[in-house]
Amino acid sequence: MPDLEQSAEPAESVQPAEPAEPAESVQPEPRASSERSAPSVPSPRHPTHAVDRAFLGMERRRPDVRWDAGGVAYLGGPPPALSDLRAYVGFRLGGLPLHTSRVEGGRRPRWQPDAAFDIDRHVHEVVADGPAAWDSALHTALNAPFAPGALWGVWLVHGHQPDAYAVCYRFRHACQDGSAAAMTFRAMLGEGEPSARPVPGRIRRAGVPRRVGAAVGLATKFVAGTLAVRGHRPDAVFTPSGERRLWRGRVPADTLRRIGAARGGSAHDVHLAALAGALSVWSARSGVPLPRVTAVLPIDARRPDEDQTWGNRCFAVPLELPVRTGSEDPDGTGAGPAALRRLDHVMATTRKLRGEAWRQAIQDLVRFMPGRPTEWYLRRILSPRVTNVMATSMPLAEKGSLGETQVMGTALLPLVVPGHLFGVGLSFFGDWAEVSFVADGALPLGESLAELWERAVGELEENTAPV
């Protein structure tokens, strides 16, 4: 499989190619509405960020890779006509001016208003030929190419039944990260106050020397982690088909929060521990050896005054998942103590990332790190030599609708990098925590991953319940 790290220096001009994710695994807990600042609308002329330019550079270097991410909203009720959906999205774009922009410039490109913007090139339709064709219609939307020059797309998927449909939103990662995409979800489909806006709280300002030292130390730590495996060339575990597939599961969001609170951790910790447990069973069943599983965790680094719905303000960190903690049989029995050890292992790592000093250091890194080191780091951290799973999570909203139809469920579509096993996303919507696995269709037993994750959550719940 191709290694993302192998490449030449980027060209000076920036011409967008084909897309990329998800999103932000170590998130602050949602804050009450009284603590939120008023939303801001970015200027139509918006400078690109170093992370934007890094993804644009990776697109140029690897035009064969799909650099897109996104999400799916599942709605209950009769679907709109394509013309009505185009009119609806076009109206909503009034509050999202950078969705009608393009990239222009050389070394320091900017998002500029696109005079040739056409909503018809961005909103599409896939009609299923009856109930049996639902999966194929949805996966057509997941794999459809963007229109020439388009940076994002919306696909209306319907036809399997008269009172249900889906809206698939995909975007090139050079344009958005997961937090920005979640804000777009709330602008397009959210109702009322965004209950879980993922903007970090204000952090007590330390002195400049201390902040510089913390940022440099953090950068050194994670760069060293990418160099430690520089000679590692992972074996291909399957031959890719080139078609992405989506598998979903869900548990009550309060279940994850309750398990995390019982051990002094968070819902995100429980998700990652359950992912490790699911992978342990999946490896035994599929026959795919997993000597090492390291996940990329995208962390939102927006400051409280940054509330735009475009661009990237994330920092990616590696986290080794404790897949080999203890021994289980392929049926997952006898997993209790191992499940708790996995959770404790994850919590010991993520606790630092939520600390005040590290979050400030991450914000400083994302704000001030130059373009070329940023692109070098992202190429390294996404390389299958360093990581082999993309793991992101995102709070979305309490509820959502499109006209008279209500959003019944959601699924994140994380970036899937060649050489990675899959991308996994956890979306918090309403009362549910919904997991989605996105992988090449040739991944052995990929369809079992969501159920194994649900079972791993159940094992954690059983072993943290009061006696």
Residue whose token pair is 């913390």:
214
Q: What is the pLDDT of residues 54-110, one digit of tens each?
A: 999 999 999 999 999 999 999 999 999 999 999 999 999 988 888 999 988 877 788
Which has the closest alpha carbon to 73: 174, 182, 146, 172? Answer: 182
> What is the model's pLDDT at position 361?
84
> What is the model's pLDDT at position 458?
97
Within 13 Å of residue 383, how many CA atoms lie on the same side as its CB? 25
pLDDT < 70 regions, the chain: 1-44, 192-210, 212-215, 217-219, 222-235, 307-308, 325-336, 467
Residue whose token pair is 């939102």:
300
Residue whose token pair is 């222009």:
104
pTM: 0.86
State the virtual CA torsion across 346, 348, 354, 357 in degrees, nearest 10: -150
> What is the model's pLDDT at position 27?
42
Q: What is the pLDDT of residues 373-423, one digit of tens each?
A: 899 999 999 999 899 999 999 999 899 999 999 999 999 999 999 999 999
Strands (E), 187-342: 244-252, 294-300, 314-320
In this structure, are residues 329 and 10 in contact, taking their beta carbons and an 8 Å threshold? no
> What is the model's pLDDT at position 235?
66
Distance CA 199, CA 27 (A): 9
> What is the model's pLDDT at position 357?
77
Distance CA 297, CA 316 (A): 5
